[in-house]
Chain A
């Protein structure tokens, strides 16, 4: 027999990166700039705390919403860093990666037929998440002219005034764009005016290179309509430990917890100990990683300009988003540079149609490899462009 797949699953196309995996597998000496996770290991203190918790046999479930102590630490952290006030008992839920939190939010707040405006290019999970929940995605393109920042004009042009929900992710994956407070303010106003729920994925909030991150939830009248996602993967290099969290008003977090308690029960226990330690003692590790990313960022941006590929000044996350030279689509360039030069980059259209013509280049890779990869890209461009 064959399984009858649900319409929801069939509505989502297979991942666009899959094919590239196979090419990369066949080829030796691939340098990957296609990686969406830090190249650092989790800070030792956090790993050590996880090990200690295992030695003490702390391997049972935690509270559905996560260890209370961890929720308190998260509350203190977001208050201190982003000026956000959330009650650890009612307004914070610890999840299995920020990804779970995003999925919970779509399932908790989207009804079939609801319209979810999504600022693009963006992380690849939002669109399938909305589709699984039965909603309709309304892409809101952002452009290089605006440094890939979301604008009110962009929202209006896309028809987002009539949407039910708006999803944003800044610092942005894949562009590396940030939204400074003065650019965020009119977006907040738009959301209030048109009564939009806002999902704000702030997983890269610690990784900014030109001023501190501002959360949209910190603007007046926004807290009650916003869910903020964050986690430990990027800032503390804990991707494989799968730990994130969501912040929001009590009734909203309660609804997300209803799904979470039946599907996940609780986020994994060991990483919660690592996360507690990370928040408590690992500020310096984060600072050092940010310093290192910043150097690489400037190196990569300079090299692309020297090569003659246009690239906007990415100021967050660990990505930049150069334009492919004339005569290539993003996919063609990414495939050929992989086959000929062994450099893995992700075609920009994977992150939404508006990403066409660009490449996502990750600099979460050591400088030696970055230098070599950029030399190879330079050789490729000299030969073909």
Chain B
């Protein structure tokens, strides 16, 4: 199942060259390229982004996890509300989840004021939204499966039998 394997490798590191993916999977490079094109065309692969450790940069980046509760009516479903919220560029992720609240929304901005304003002026006024709880991210330890710490040195001997 080459599609699965290629996808797995792209998820591990989207910058693996098609040549390297071909070497690891024993496929031809042209097959890898075709598979990636198909995955993109079918909308399975939606994009490629860098995983950034903001703590390593000078400029501040403010991120918040926002819990949203909503009420639905005959005309408005979850998808309608989600569609409306997802359009804002400040919203980095939006998921309908199970549990105490309905939506889990990740928001990003340049300052606490900017993020707060966005929540109070753009999100809270949406008529179906009954409650927002905003959690500012203080430290991130792992993003997209990648640990953000300094990592551990390889303490193995350089030669062993």
A, B assembled together: yes
**Is B75 part of the binding interface, using a Cβ–Cβ cutoff of 8 Å?**
no
Knowing that A35-B156, A298-B25 touch, tell me 20 more A-B residue pairs with CB under 8 angstroms. A17-B161, A21-B158, A24-B158, A24-B159, A32-B156, A34-B159, A35-B158, A35-B160, A36-B161, A37-B160, A39-B156, A295-B25, A298-B24, A299-B20, A299-B24, A302-B23, A302-B26, A303-B23, A346-B159, A367-B24
**A298 contacts across to B, CB distance below 8 A:** 23-26
Is A124 touching B161 in the complex (CB atoms < 8 A)?
yes
Residue of A nearest to B9 (CB): A295
**Is A108 part of the binding interface, using a Cβ–Cβ cutoff of 8 Å?**
no
Which residues, 1 to 44 on B, are CB-close (under 8 Å) to A? 9, 20, 22-26
Is B26 touching A344 in the complex (CB atoms < 8 A)?
no
**A34 contacts across to B, CB distance below 8 A:** 158-160
**Is B100 part of the binding interface, using a Cβ–Cβ cutoff of 8 Å?**
no
The 8 Å CB contact of B159, one of A17, A125, A296, is: A17
Is A35 touching B24 in the complex (CB atoms < 8 A)?
no
Residues of chain B having any CB pair with chain A under 8 Å: 9, 20, 22-26, 154, 156-161
Is B20 touching A344 in the complex (CB atoms < 8 A)?
no
Is A299 touching B158 in the complex (CB atoms < 8 A)?
no
Q: How far apart sit A299 and B158, CA to CA, in the bound complex (Å)?
A: 21
Q: How far apart sit A37 and B160, CA to CA, in the bound complex (Å)?
A: 7
Which residues, 295 to 351 on A, are CB-close (under 8 Å) to B? 295-296, 298-299, 302-303, 344, 346
Q: Number of A interface residues, CB 8 Å?
A: 25
Is B161 touching A344 in the complex (CB atoms < 8 A)?
no
The 8 Å CB contact of A123, one of B22, B25, B161, is: B161
**Is A30 part of the binding interface, using a Cβ–Cβ cutoff of 8 Å?**
yes
Of the listed residues B9, B20, B160, the one surrounded by the most CB atoms of chain A closer than 10 A to its CB is B160
Is A125 touching B161 in the complex (CB atoms < 8 A)?
yes
A-B contact list, 26 entries, CB within 8 Å: A17-B159, A17-B161, A20-B159, A21-B157, A21-B158, A21-B159, A24-B158, A32-B158, A34-B159, A35-B157, A35-B158, A35-B159, A36-B161, A37-B156, A39-B156, A125-B161, A295-B9, A295-B25, A298-B23, A299-B24, A302-B22, A303-B23, A344-B158, A346-B159, A367-B24, A371-B20
Q: How far apart sit A302 and B24, CA to CA, in the bound complex (Å)?
A: 8
Q: How far apart sit A32 and B160, CA to CA, in the bound complex (Å)?
A: 10
Q: How far apart sit A52 and B8, CA to CA, in the bound complex (Å)?
A: 34
**B157 contacts across to A, CB distance below 8 A:** 21, 35
Is A296 touching B24 in the complex (CB atoms < 8 A)?
yes
Residues 106-125 of A, flagged 1 when their CB comes within 8 A of B and 0 if not, give 00000000000000000111
Q: How far apart sit A20 and B157, CA to CA, in the bound complex (Å)?
A: 12
Is A39 touching B154 in the complex (CB atoms < 8 A)?
yes
Q: How far is the CB of A70 from chain B (nearest CB, A)?
A: 26
**A173 contacts across to B, CB distance below 8 A:** 161
**B22 contacts across to A, CB distance below 8 A:** 302
Residue of B nearest to A306 (CB): B23
Q: How far is the CB of A121 from chain B (nearest CB, A)?
A: 12
Q: How far apart sit A173 and B20, CA to CA, in the bound complex (Å)?
A: 26
**A123 contacts across to B, CB distance below 8 A:** 161
Is A299 touching B159 in the complex (CB atoms < 8 A)?
no
**A302 contacts across to B, CB distance below 8 A:** 22-23, 26
Which residues, 48 to 100 on A, are CB-close (under 8 Å) to B? none
Q: How far is the CB of A106 from chain B (nearest CB, A)?
A: 17
Which residues, 17 to 32 on A, are CB-close (under 8 Å) to B? 17, 20-21, 24, 30, 32
Residue of A nearest to B13 (CB): A367
Q: How far apart sit A21 and B156, CA to CA, in the bound complex (Å)?
A: 12
Of the listed residues A30, A34, A344, the one surrounded by the most CB atoms of chain B closer than 10 A to its CB is A34
Residue of B nearest to A300 (CB): B23
**A371 contacts across to B, CB distance below 8 A:** 20
Residue of B nearest to A346 (CB): B159
Q: How far apart sit A344 and B156, CA to CA, in the bound complex (Å)?
A: 13
Q: How far is the CB of B14 from chain A (nearest CB, A)?
A: 14
Q: How far apart sit A125 and B160, CA to CA, in the bound complex (Å)?
A: 12
Q: How far apart sit A32 and B23, CA to CA, in the bound complex (Å)?
A: 21
Q: How far apart sit A123 and B160, CA to CA, in the bound complex (Å)?
A: 11
Is B25 touching A32 in the complex (CB atoms < 8 A)?
no
Q: How far apart sit A21 and B158, CA to CA, in the bound complex (Å)?
A: 7
Of the listed residues B20, B22, B156, the one surrounded by the most CB atoms of chain A closer than 10 A to its CB is B156
